Amino acid sequence: MSILFSERTKTFHLFNQEISYVMTVLPNGHMGQLYFGKKIHHKEDFSYLQEKVQRAMAACVFDDDATFSLEHIKQEYGVYGTTDFRHPAVSILQKNGSTLSDFLYESHRITEGKPKLPGLPATYTEEPKEAETLIIKLRDPLTGIVLELFYTIFAKGGILARSVRFQNEGTEAVQLKRAMSLCMDLPDSEYDWLQFSGAWARERHLKVRRLEQGIQAVDSIRGNSSHEQNPFIVLKRPTADETQGEVIGFSLVYSGNFLAQAQVDTQDTTRVLLGIHPFGFGWKLDPGASFQTPEAVMVYSSRGLGDMSRTFHRLYRSRLARGYWRDRERPILNNNWEATYFDFTEDRLVEIAKKAKECGVELFVLDDGWFGDRRNDHAGLGDWIVNRELLPGGISGLAEKIEALGMRFGLWFEPEMVNPDSDLYRAHPDWILKTPGRHASLGRHQHVLDFSRREVVDAVYVMMKKILSEAKVSYVKWDMNRSITECYSEALPADRQGEVFHRYILGVYDLYERLTSEFPEVLFESCASGGGRFDPGLLYYAPQGWASDDSDAVERLKIQYGTSFCYPVSSIGSHVSVTPNHQVYRDTPLHTRANVAYFGTFGYELDLNKLAGEEIIQVKEQIRFMKTYRKLIQFGDFYRLSSPFEKNITAWMVVSEDRRQAVVGWYRTLNGANVPLGRLRLSGLDENLSYCVCEEGLESGACYYGDELMNAGLVTTENGAMDGTLSEKHSCDFDSRIYVLKAED
């Protein structure tokens, strides 16, 4: 890993064993992009990569150089209007009404490790040698605005982290109208665009299309990263697949409004922008003030989508997630929500917990409905005081009973919201986001608290801290059940209303930071009606997130497959739910519900007392299996084998770091008659090791070399539907199998 600067050519080269990133100071003082991709040899002069040709109708910076038009030069942080007509990375409204800027190179510095971003989540290092950071200082001589471009290259993997800091060293206030975290100009457009889109209960479905001239984008202006889109895109060469080919992943470590955009011009070059969505954004920068953008992470791989994903997984699992639970196996839990909804008593909860303990569950979670007048979703939200009629011993009393059973206790909160029918709202009706003179909309019968205000965050913190201090709470499920409407804060003047969306997210991060610091051994799980805020920003505070409110195993195949392109298995909240499923009313075999949920944090979303005796035996076996293999599953290397977006068969697997163990998940959506032969080519194994392959539930299996399993494949053929006969174990719709591989000594 090195960051080298050539004084003669004013060229920077950032590189490690995987990648090179080359940029230069352009003749006009701006920063130009020369190369990003697979590692290349270092040399002092890469100027040949700066392609300049005279083009008709091009506006040029210099009168005597008709080839130097910023419209046709790759840049590091493009500005609109000074011969560049593409969408810019930055736009600053000045007192005279102009939005033009002219950021010129002034200096740079190189440091070991990686600086923190104040008030924002970001990747980090634990040892200085893990990364190096380049900070390039640019200045606009007219306004005095200083722009610092941060580039961190990690020692391992094709990873480059980027962010931007603005400092007003001028004499007049300005308004930041656009401040992207990343601007990346690529020399061609021969890419497929991958995005991860959906809606509530079908989040992060993979969508693929070719880049074309014009603009392709995903975004959110809902106040949260959203169910609809995810702040993550991939550009891959058309021939690239899971195991080979050039791939670039772009991920934003942020939980609010975002824009991820690719603009292909008529010369077929591509500009990628990633950062806070400029729609509705405006940040007043007074003299002496600064603004820090969220972090954007780029991962390059020449070995396909799978390698890119595993690079993201390792980084986000160990250098974005933090704290006590980062490297620990996650407890198997039982949540009462789909078992009882709001209809519970303390005795009923204890009854459910006793059965869970008998089956081997380690954590019992009380969901919504334990506080204030919360007997439905119309009232009580915001009043974080236990309802003693439901829980006579309070949260502390219930927690003690659960602990006495030999389990840990967890609790649900939705701290960012308030019902109009609540004591908090009646005392502070001005504490919600609402526009003066306008109707204040409701979502799930609730308003959004104004987390841009310190006093609001403080009040919620005091209530939550009291509960967590007085009771043995080992886990917190942090929910958020609506997007932001009427985004206006009564605490800010008119010229700062464009700051509210971002200040709101900073308030959420602040509350998370305080609570996770105060209660470092509590496991926090983020939730937003399921997957409405499943993003890297929250992984910094909560090492796992509820991936979707849709707990149907068949639907979860697509959700978890799509999620895996960026996010590690250890971050994916996944449970076994009741059947018929409460979201799609599908009947799915119990073994398939577990076989899907294994590839995540694992738990149960039901009342185990309602299962038949044979099913309880299955549950006990499932829990024993997960306890045996959860370290491998949650922290091993993940490989996608067959896509639910393309085939009736879905398959994936995890492999241990030493490649001596693996667990394979195989899932078929619909059964068929006289089905074709089936083979599944595995990945990630040691070709020279012999593996004993055993299907879950069987005591022994045959052994094969790794090269056989990866090239010839694992035989998965079965009888399928026969002519009027049934085998002892007949196949069915929504079937699945788990295979365990262990290397022979």
Catalytic positions, written as ranges: 479, 549
Element spanning 285, H or E: strand 283-285
CA atoms within 13 A on the CB side of 214: 4
Count helices and strands in the chain by DSSP H and E runs: 12, 39
Q: Which of 715, 602, 735, 736 is nearest to 666 (CA)?
A: 736
CA atoms within 13 A on the CB side of 349: 32
Residues 6+ apart with CB under 8 A from 614: none
Helix axes 553-563, 590-597, angle to 10 degrees: 10
Residues 6+ apart with CB under 8 A from 125: 113, 114, 131, 154, 319
What does the alpha-carbon distance between residue 633 and residue 535 come to, in Å, rounded to a whole number? 21
Contact 652, 727 (CB under 8 A): no
DSSP alpha helix (H) spans, 320-345: 337-340
What are the tokens at 194? 């991958």
Residues 6+ apart with CB under 8 A from 328: none
| 3-state secondary structure at position 685 | coil
Backbone dihedral angles phi then psi of residue 143, each to the nearest 5 degrees: -95, -20
| Alpha-carbon dihedral sign for residues 516, 521, 522, 526 | positive
- Cβ-in-10-Å burial (0-12, 13-18, 19+) of 285 comes to buried
Contact 410, 477 (CB under 8 A): yes
Helix, strand, coil percent values for the chain (each to nearest 5): 20, 30, 45
What does the alpha-carbon distance between residue 590 and residue 619 come to, in Å, rounded to a whole number? 8
Q: What is the DSSP letter of 711?
A: I
Q: What is the DSSP letter of 582?
A: T
The CB density around residue 82, as the number of other CB atoms within 10 Å, is 17
What does the alpha-carbon distance between residue 131 and residue 452 come to, in Å, rounded to a whole number? 33
Helix axes 346-359, 613-635, angle to 10 degrees: 70
Amino acid identity of residue 451, one-letter, is F
Task: State how far Cα 507 lies from the chain centre.
Answer: 19
CA distances from 635 to 314, 330, 405, 504, 739 (A): 9, 11, 29, 33, 18
Q: What is the DSSP letter of 188?
A: -
CA distances from 198 to 176, 369, 527 (A): 31, 29, 16
What does the alpha-carbon distance between residue 332 and residue 439 come to, in Å, rounded to a whole number? 44
- Counted residue by residue, the chain has a size of 745
Residues 6+ apart with CB under 8 A from 272: 182, 183, 184, 185, 186, 235, 250, 260, 261, 262
